[in-house]
Chain A
Amino acid sequence: MVNNSFDQRGTVNIEIVHKAFSGSKGTLLALKDILLTIDPGEFVCIVGGSGCGKTTLLRIIAGLETEYEGAVFLDGKQLLGTGLDRGVVFQEHRLLSWLTVHDNVGFGLAGLPREECSRDIRHYIGLVGLDQFEYEYPHQLSGGMSQRVAIARALAGRPEVLLLDEPFASLDALTRMRMQQEILRIWEAERTTVALVTHDIEEAVYLADRVVIMSPQPGTIRNILPVPLSRPRDRTDEEFVRVRKSIHEELFAPDGMTSPAADSF
């Protein structure tokens, strides 16, 4: 499954030995011995309870956390800091309230020729289905629409990897399901590598080629399960439920998370 010839771009190699946060109450070991390769064009979901370091892992790949032992490679090149080769979507949309949808999407493209920029921006606004809203401001948009703009912004730099940190967690259930379909459609159109962090097992099974299951204290990879289902997937399908159940069991197994309530940290 691992494709090490870099003729297709977007291979992520993660080799994190150790990542700790030191605070006033001492140091917290956030991640330990994370070895993971994400193939070009692959959709990987990272699931785990709160405090398992899944967001930290994503932030390391994004280049927002740089103090750690180990290395992350994109197409064989070590990643140091942030870059346009990775697009990031956060749980909150993080749009700039003083810019239109158009300017928010183009925020990272400053410096490129204006004409070309505008065309790219329109393309991505169209891709997330917001053509009608190009010159609206964020406060005029709903939560789901704002998150679409955030996705368009992340894609506008033509990244090789799209990193999503619980992007739909703050949306209502119906909007979330629609956005899950949307992100699959966008992924199929763009064919970028995608890593999506979530605590929603169903979301992971619905979206991912492989599900990375993490356990806390310290954050480690507990198991990696492939999802052998063709798309579009049916959430009520027997096989879907079976995969979902196996991930659930893996997450709550005796030496994994002690219990769903034990993540009070």
Chain B
Amino acid sequence: MSTAEQNRRLVWKGAAAELTAKPPDKIRRIFIPDRLLGWIIPVSVLLAWELLARLGMLPPNWLPAPTVVGKTIYQLAVAGDLFKHAGVTIARVAVGFLLGASAGTLFGGVTGYLPVARKLLDPTLQALRSVPSIAWVPLFLLWLGIQETSKITLIALGAFFPVYLNLSVAMRHVDPKLLEVGKLYRLSSFQMVRRLILPAALPEYIVGLRSGLGLAWMFVVAAELLGASSGIGYLMVDGEMTGRASIILASVILFAIFGKTTDWIMNAVGRGLLGHRSR
């Protein structure tokens, strides 16, 4: 290779590096840091929405401006309706989730530990799981009436399956090599569960609790839409009946806030339980 050719190649290489490496740097320097990138679209949409609404280009009874929705939430809070309805909804989620998650823990634990119990129960539970849970609503209403029982049952059912499934599978899949360590130290069955199987299954169990909680929020909406005289879902129905889109949108936002907040709390509790393992 001649020196001239070598030089040419070097020049070419340098140019290529410049082409591939520099532009992204420039873009980043001109615009905004990575962590703010995700805000661009929602903020622009909100601004455009507000602008169009103020210009009278959006029908206010269908799509009120974000500020109007914000005002609606404020008015609901001032009137006390917000706390009343939110309290009812949160109570339903809490009771339903506690019942469902407890049952899921019990069944998941038993089937995860005892193969006989799994063979006996799992096919039935899996078959029930394949029924879309909303399909139970008419039956629950018929059996349990339109009051709280049917709503809480539906929420509990939603929370049950992810907790059950995650715990059962995680307990079954504990590394047999770790179980041998327990065997070496002659742990009793109870100690085996408490000291090896449950701690090993904990991360997946927490994942199950989180998705159970998510489903509990989903099902409280369904339950409240289908017949309730209080709760945020009722607010939505009320907004629809009276043609006030701002109330419906306000309710959607409230559901989002509560769902996200409880998930964040659950995540924090999970991190606490896992300690160093969550890193």
Residue positions of A touching B, CB distance < 8 A: 62-64, 81-84, 88, 90, 92, 94, 96-98, 107-108, 110, 137, 139, 157
Q: Does the CB pair B277–A98 fall under 8 Å? A: yes
Interchain CB contact under 8 A, B275 and A98: yes
CB neighbours of A82 from chain B (8 A)? 183-186
Which of B186, B200, B202, B275 counts the most chain A CB atoms within 10 A? B186
Q: Which residues of A contact B276 (CB under 8 A)?
A: 137, 139
* CB-based contact B277/A64 at 8 Å: no
Q: How distant is the Cα of A137 from the Cα of B180 in the complex, in angstroms?
A: 20
**B: interface residue count bin:** 10 to 19
Chain B hits for A94, CB < 8 A: 177-178, 180-181
Residue of A nearest to B179 (CB): A94
B residues 239-279 near A (Cβ < 8 Å) are: 274-277
B177, B181, B184: which has the most chain A beta carbons within 10 Å?
A: B184
Q: Report A-chain residues with C-beta under 8 Å of the C-beta of B196.
A: 96
- Is chain A's interface secondary structure helix, strand, loop, or mixed overall? loop
The residue that B184 contacts in the complex, of A92, A96, A97, A108, with Cβ under 8 A, is: A108
Cα of A76 to Cα of B177 in the assembled complex, Å? 30
Q: How far is the CA of A108 from the CA of B191 in the complex (A)?
A: 11
With A96-B196, A98-B199, A98-B202 as given contacts, are A88 and B277 in contact (CB-CB < 8 Å)? no
Distance A107 CA – B276 CA, assembled complex (angstroms): 18
CB distance from B232 to the nearest CB of A (A): 39
| Contact status B186-A84, CB under 8 Å | yes
Say whether A97 contacts B277, CB under 8 Å: yes
- Whole-angstrom CA separation of A98 from B199 in the bound complex: 7
Q: A96-B200, A107-B181 are in contact. List 20 more A-B contacts (CB 8 A).
A: A62-B184, A63-B184, A64-B183, A64-B184, A82-B183, A82-B186, A83-B186, A88-B184, A92-B177, A94-B177, A94-B178, A96-B178, A96-B199, A97-B277, A98-B199, A98-B200, A108-B185, A110-B195, A137-B276, A139-B276
Report A137 CB to chain B, min CB distance, Å. Answer: 5
Separation in Å of the A87 CB from the closest CB of chain B?
8
Q: Which residues of B contact A63 (CB under 8 A)?
A: 184
Q: How far does the Cβ of B185 sit from chain A's closest Cβ, in whole Å?
A: 4
Task: List 20 contacting pairs A-B, 8 Å CB cutoff, sorted by A.
Answer: A63-B184, A64-B184, A82-B185, A82-B186, A84-B186, A90-B177, A92-B177, A94-B178, A94-B180, A94-B181, A96-B181, A96-B196, A98-B199, A98-B202, A98-B275, A107-B185, A110-B191, A110-B195, A139-B276, A157-B185
CB closest residue in chain A, given B185: A108
Q: How far is the CB of B199 from chain A (nearest CB, A)?
A: 5
Contacts of B185 in A (CB 8 A): 82, 84, 107-108, 157
Chain B residues with CB under 8 Å of A98's CB are 199-200, 202, 274-275, 277
How far, in whole Å, are A153 and B52 apart by their CA atoms in the complex?
Answer: 70
For A88, list chain B residues within 8 Å (CB): 184
Residues of chain A within 8 A of B181, CB atoms compared: 94, 96, 107
> Contact flags (1/0) for B194-224 with A, using CB distance below 8 Å?
0110011010000000000000000000000
Residues of B within 8 A of A64 (CB): 180, 183-184
Chain A nearest Cβ from B181, distance in angstroms: 5
Q: How far is the CA of A92 from the CA of B199 in the complex (A)?
A: 19
With both beta carbons as reference points, the residue of chain B lying nearest to A104 in the complex is identified as: B181
Residue numbers in B under 8 Å from A92 (CB-CB): 177
The answer for the CA separation of A157 and B184 in the assembled complex, in Å, is 11
Nearest CB in chain B: distance from A48 CB, A: 22
In whole angstroms, what is the CA distance A184 to B72 when docked?
77
Alpha-carbon separation in the docked complex, A64 to B276 (Å): 32
Q: Quick one: CB contact mask for B171-191 with A, threshold 8 Å, 1 for yes?
A: 000000110110111100001
For the complex, what is the distance from the CA of A62 to the CA of B180, rounded to whole Å? 11
Question: Closest residue to B184 on the A side, CB-wise?
Answer: A82
| Minimal Cβ-Cβ distance residue in A for B199 | A98
| Residue numbers in B under 8 Å from A139 (CB-CB) | 276
